[in-house]
A and B are shown apart, each in its own frame.
Chain A
Amino acid sequence: MTDAPPSMPPTAADDAALVQAVLAGAPGAFERLVRQYQGLCWHIVDRMVRHPEDTRELCQEAFLRVHRYLHQYRSESPLKAWIGQVAYSVAKRHLERRRIPLAEAADGADGMALAESVGQDFDLETACAEDEAQSLLHAAIEALPPLQRTLLTLYHLDEVPIGEIASMTGLAEGTIKSHLFRSRKHLRAILEPRIGVPA
């Protein structure tokens, strides 16, 4: 990956200075802002749409929106959450235009069943090897609905707190926890029979 996060996360003062520099038209300031948050934006959009070319176009669109509406940003919420919100809404609108459901039905009939079917098709003998188990889990994650995939990535890879994920997605914290809990439970259930975990 080329989008390794910076060693130190930016403080609110860093964000405010960067925003001021972009608004003042300082040379290179907007590119710095993009570099700072491109990883987060890419993760959100990529997890939502799962198509490299669409991801690139939608991420561009998200950052152009950020550039256009940056004067409306108020530093009450972290810049990361604000940019994440823009990226999420751009990707969500893309899915809506393509009539791709964002989340599975409330009873879990759609996405989770699909994720489980990945496990059933997998070679049970070879799945014990760790790398193969990772492949199995990755395939199951890929089979999850866009919202669940995105929430898992934001929480576990980008380590975004639940409160900030709620700001980005407009979902209630309880709803996010519920999605995370159920997704992890299903993924673990796929893994369990292969390493002898009692049900």
Chain B
Amino acid sequence: MTSPPPMVDERAWQAQEQALRAAHGGVAGPDAATVADRRLLRALREPPLSPLPVDFAAEVARLAAPPAHARPADTRLERLLGAGLGIALGAAALVMGLEQGTQWLRAVAEQAPPGTLRFGVALIACVGSSWLIGLLPRSHSRGPLRH
């Protein structure tokens, strides 16, 4: 990065500003210095700029808001599909559990050492209850953030 330029003397700055203002306002006479100031001012007020595209604002607005009409429809469809799949999986699991759950439990009880089934049920109960307790403070803390 380059270092800043040396500070300009305030009087010199004011003198230059005054000369340009005078040239712009036509206060000063048409001497060579005033003509130079006028030409300088005109060049500064009409710098060579590349043209701004006519459709620029509309284009940027389109980019900033991608197909807003399409998004909710997509989201609704995704939600419907997700819910449908979840219900189908849950129903299949329930049917299988009702049909063959007793056999599975019996097989596990026969294969595993004595007391394993009871220990497993107790473990599941512990994990489930701590998960349920964990939900309570989270639902409380979320409340104020929504407002």
Contact = CB atoms under 8 A, between A and B. Distances in A.
Considering residues B35, B48, B60, which has the most beta carbons from chain A within 10 angstroms of its beta carbon?
Answer: B60
A196 B6 contact: no
A182 interface: yes
Contacts of B2: 101-106
A80 interface: no
A184 B39 CA distance: 12
Contact of B61 (A31, A56, A141): A31
B48 A195 contact: no
Interface string A19-59: 00000000010110011001100110011001110011001
A138 B33 CA distance: 19
Give the secondary structure class of A's interface.
Answer: helix
B45 A157 contact: yes
B44 A157 contact: yes
A7 interface: no
Interface string B17-35: 0001000000000001101
Give the secondary structure class of B's interface.
Answer: helix
A38 B60 CA distance: 10
Contacts, number: 143
Contacts of B1: 102
Interface residues on A, range: 35 or more
B52 interface: yes
B56 A181 contact: no
A134 B43 contact: yes
Contacts of A133: 39
A108 interface: yes
Interface string B43-63: 111111111111011111101
A39 B16 CA distance: 27
A77 to B, nearest CB: 22
28 contacts: A1-B49, A2-B52, A2-B53, A30-B64, A31-B58, A42-B56, A43-B49, A47-B49, A60-B60, A63-B64, A64-B60, A102-B1, A103-B2, A103-B5, A105-B3, A133-B39, A134-B39, A137-B39, A152-B44, A153-B47, A157-B47, A178-B4, A178-B8, A187-B43, A187-B44, A188-B36, A195-B36, A198-B32
Interface of A: 1-3, 28, 30-31, 34-35, 38-39, 42-43, 46-47, 50-52, 55-56, 59-60, 63-64, 67, 101-106, 108, 130, 133-134, 137-138, 141-142, 149, 152-153, 156-157, 171-172, 174-175, 177-179, 181-182, 184-185, 187-188, 191-192, 195-198
Question: Which 10 interchain pairs have the tightest Cβ spacing?
Answer: A137-B43, A31-B61, A156-B44, A34-B57, A52-B50, A3-B52, A67-B64, A181-B8, A178-B8, A35-B57
